[in-house]
Amino acid sequence: MKISVALLWITGLAEAFLAIPLIGGGFVISTGYTALGVMFVLHAITLFFCFREYSPKSGSILGIITSTIAWIPGIGWIFHLITAAVLLITAAISGNRARI
């Protein structure tokens, strides 16, 4: 498995956790919004490996955007949800393509 595919799965699952109503928001607030900074860095690292391994980049780019605007309560939840879906679908498609 490529490193980029593994990172897509990790960031996708982390975004899915942050998209859980009340729990994800409570986690972000309890960390003093540091969780959004950590996710920004993880998405940037994933994007680097996606460029390096010619994997789809849309999920990581969307994740970087999400990390910068997710402090807005309702919009943050929607963006986390969309980003998680894009990342997980991209990881599944990229993982299957790597096996062929």
- In the predicted model, is pLDDT for residue 94 greater than 90? no
User: For the chain, which residues make up each domain, given as ranges?
Assistant: 3-97
Query: Could you tell me how far CA 90 lies from the centroid of its own chain?
Result: 11
Give the predicted TM-score (pTM) of the model: 0.91
pLDDT digits (tens, 9 = 90+) for 42-88: 999 999 999 999 889 999 999 999 999 999 989 999 999 999 999 99
Q: Specify the pLDDT at position 97.
A: 67
Region 24-37: what's the mean pLDDT?
A: 95
Euclidean distance between CA atoms 15 and 19, whole angstroms: 6
Taking only Cα atoms into account, the Rg of the chain, rounded to an integer number of angstroms, comes to 13
